[in-house]
Structure 1
Amino acid sequence: MQRCYYGPYGKAPRHLPFRRAAMSFMRWQLRRGLLQPLSSDHPGSPWWRAVNECILRDGCEAVALSGGFTGPTSSRTVDFWMSFADYPTARAWYRAHNGSVVAAYLEHRDQAAAENEAERFFMNVVLCRVLYSHALVAAPRISLGWLRPLAPFLGDPRLGMTGIFLQLSRVLPDEYPLGEGVRSYLDAELGFGRLLDYGVIIPRVQQLYEWSSHELAAPGLLDCIRDGALTYAWPFEDRDVWRPPKSLIVQMAHRALRPERRA
């Protein structure tokens, strides 16, 4: 995965800084054992392996085409990576990376459904956080309201803040599969994680997914949300987990960062 950021000739100084966010999340996956071979004594996750394979395949194809291989791109997501190769900006990186992520999520929904409850819950958390990080750069009004001047800095994948948004290691153990129920992990998630998810993202999550669906040309993403409840491999009937907890800091965030009304 990291090799893709060096480009076809081993030198890509404008692209290398963008590997920071991707590698940070990759290290978390490795620590949890998510990518272990399925034949291992402690096999990894078929779903996580499939998702990463899709991202890697798109990146490798873009590197090959950038290096002179001829032929059309195989998918819209590879087109996004080619655009990033030509113009390495924060918005172009998110469009490429998240385009591959969303396409992989949609393609492997059946495998996701085979994971246990806690794993499926955090699949949704990861998805909404990567989409939110993209919106910080490309749709600051949606993502941060009146604080939108700060949004591009907070979401820049070349800086360390993006890794904080994707940080789950404080609440999840380095093991796969997760052995506890969702509620036990929610009770353990304090501080920044709870504030980000329930105080900032969830109040605007429906608008976030609608914007992301258009930005990534992925209409199937709208099947992953319903009335503000995240529903990727998750039943709408169990939507209570997405309702904000009774917390003073979450309530303060709601008041301070109300989603702007749509035009």
Structure 2
Amino acid sequence: MIDAADAAATRVRRIADGAAPRLRLAAGFYTGDRIRYGRAELSFLRWEIARGVLNPPAADPPGSPWWRAVNDRLLRDKTEALLLADGHPGEPSARSVRLWGEFVSRPSPAAWYRAHNASIVTGYLRNTTLALPELPSERFMMNVALVRVLYAHALVARPRLALGPFAPLGRLLGDPRGGTVGFFLDLRRAFPELYPLRGLRVEDLIAAEGRLPRALDYGIIVPRLVPLYEFAAGSLGLPGIEDLISDGTPCYALPARHSDWHGTSARRLSTRLAAYAIRLRA
């Protein structure tokens, strides 16, 4: 048998230009005692497919090289971990693969988030050059997606950091097997299902957010951004996470002038009330 890493890369290359094969490969990982863990991930993947960001380069319209690369990384890591568990030769090619192997051997919400987020963060760090040509509004969405998934991990692993006095609710709200986590990870509630986002500024995206997503982002998560990224760095153990935030602002491929994390939206009444409700240190 060929090395697990090579076999995984080959499988992903074969399905990279088809939405349905991508979905089948992603869903095929979640069988047996893992079956319910794929709920949030597969929902997000369907959103990516609907937006068209995973369209092949030759499609009309073409997809996003960045979104394709990040999804490729996630699929490769999971596939390699599963092949290793099934007896293929080789050692985990990356820390993210090792974490997926730990999840395969002993599934739990915390293990799933560590593995999933390690793959996602690795995808971000390895593909910055692909993100830079994207529109500022798209890069803002990339940062929101990352913040949300890091926060969902904290709900399970550091609930007091995530929710303050409401910490006992964290593990229930963040459990990837349940339906409530979709509120934190489903960007359909906040952003248009369209790519590219021509004619839309960051301010337009923020203005279009519903009250609940806005309260979540600016009232609950924004005041915790620095400890949230510190938690991610410690939990995932990936060099470079500290470069994804600057002066308390997520900055992946996005200059501060294109961000409004601490601006007008943070001053809305709903966000101030949400922040006040859980204002206790982790």
TM bin, normalised by shorter chain, reads over 0.9
Q: What are the equivalent positions in structure 2 for 1:1-263 lying under 5 Å apart? A: 2-3=24-25, 6-7=28-29, 12-179=31-198, 180-243=200-263, 244-260=265-281
How far the C-alpha of 1:78 sits from its partner, in A, is: 0.3
Whole-angstrom CA distance in 2 between matches of 1:167 and 1:70: 37
SS in 1 for 2:88: coil
TM-score (norm 1): 0.93
CA contact (8 A) 2:131 2:139 kept: yes
Displacement after TM superposition at 1:171 (Å): 3.6
When the two structures are aligned, how many residues end up with a matched partner? Answer: 258
Q: Which amino acid aligns with 1:217?
A: G
The percentage of counterpart residues that share the same residue type is: 44
Q: Shift in Å at residue 12 of structure 1?
A: 3.4
Instruction: Give distance in 1, aligned partners of 2:238 and 2:247.
Output: 18
Quote the Cα distance in structure 1 between the aligned partners of 2:98 and 2:59: 35
Q: Which amino acid aligns with 2:111?
A: A
> How many angstroms does 1:174 deviate by?
2.2
Superposed CA deviations along residues 90-126 of structure 1, whole A, max 9, x for unmatched, are: 0000000000000000000111111001000000000
> Does the 8 Å contact 1:35/1:49 carry over to 2?
yes
Question: Which has the larger displacement, 178-187 or 206-215?
Answer: 178-187
Following TM superposition, where does structure 1 have runs of at least 4 consecutive aligned residues deviating by more than 6 angstroms? none
Which letter maps to 1:25? F
Unaligned runs of 5+ residues in structure 2 are 1-22
- Tell me how far 1:172 sits from its aligned partner: 2.5
CA distance in 2, matches of 1:5, 1:92: 18
Deviations 1:8-67 (A, max 9, x none): xxx832101001011110011011001000111100000000000000000110111111
State the 1:162 CA deviation. Answer: 1.3
Match of 1:219, SS state, is: coil
Residues 1:2 and 1:192: Cα distance change in structure 2 (over 3 Å) = farther
TM-score of the pair, normalised by structure 2? 0.87
- Matched to 1:258, the amino acid is R
- For 1:198 and 1:132, locate their aligned partners in 2 and report how far apart those are by CA, in whole Å: 13
Contact 2:96 2:118 in 1 (8 A): yes
Contact 1:195 1:253 survives alignment (8 Å): yes
Does the residue aligned with 1:201 lie in a helix, a strand or coil?
Answer: helix
Shift of 1:167: 2.0
Counterpart-to-counterpart distance in 1, 2:188 and 2:196: 14
1:6/1:16 contact within 8 Å kept: no
Q: How far apart in 2 are the matches of 1:239 and 1:53?
A: 27
RMSD: 1.6
